[in-house]
Structure 1
C-alpha cells in the first residue's frame, strides 16, 4: 500500500506550504482563506495517517487510535471546507468592490 504514504507526504507538504504562505501575506482575509486550505490538508493528513497505522499494525489498540484519528481528521477537514467556501465568497465580494 504505497498510496497512503504518498498521500500522507503530499498533505503534510501542503500543510507546511500553506502555513508558510500565511506569513507572506498581509491581508487578514487572505490569511484566513489560506489557513482554511491548511486545515483541509491537516485533516487529510490526520485521517490517512490513522488508516495507515491501522493497516500496518492491525491490533485492537490501533483500531481505537484510528477511529480517534479519523474523527479528528474529519472534523478538521469539514471545518476547513466550510471556512474555505465562506472565505472564498468573501474574497470574491471584496475583489468585485475594487
Structure 2
C-alpha cells in the first residue's frame, strides 16, 4: 500500500506550502482562503496517517487511534471546506464590485 505514504507526504507538503504562503500575502481575505486550503490538507494528512497506522499495526489500540485520527481529520477537512466555500464567495463578491 504505497499510496498512503505518498498521500501523507504530499498533503503535509501542501499544508506547509499554504501556511508559508499565508505569511507572504497581505490581503486578509486571501489569507483566509489559503488558511482554509491548509486546513483541508491538514485534514487529509491526519486522516490518511491514521488509516496508514492501522494498516501497519492492525491491533485494537491502533484501530481506536486510527478512528480518532480519522474523525479529527474529517472534522478538520470539513471545516476547511466550509471556510473555503464561504471566503471564495466573499472574494468573488469583492471582485465583482471592483470591476
> What TM-score results when the alignment is normalised by the length of structure 2?
0.98
CA distance in 1, matches of 2:97, 2:15: 31
Aligned residue in 2 for 1:61: 61
Deviations 1:7-51 (A, max 9, x none): 000000000000000000001111001000000000000000000
Pairwise CA RMSD of aligned residues? 0.4
Cα deviation for residue 97 of structure 1 reads 1.0
1:3 equivalent in alignment to 2:3: yes
Deviations 1:55-81 (A, max 9, x none): 000000000000100000000000000
| Secondary structure of residue in 1 paired with 2:26 | coil
1:34 equivalent in alignment to 2:12: no
Number of residue equivalences: 98
* Off by >6 Å, runs of 4+ in structure 1: none
Cα deviation for residue 96 of structure 1 reads 1.1
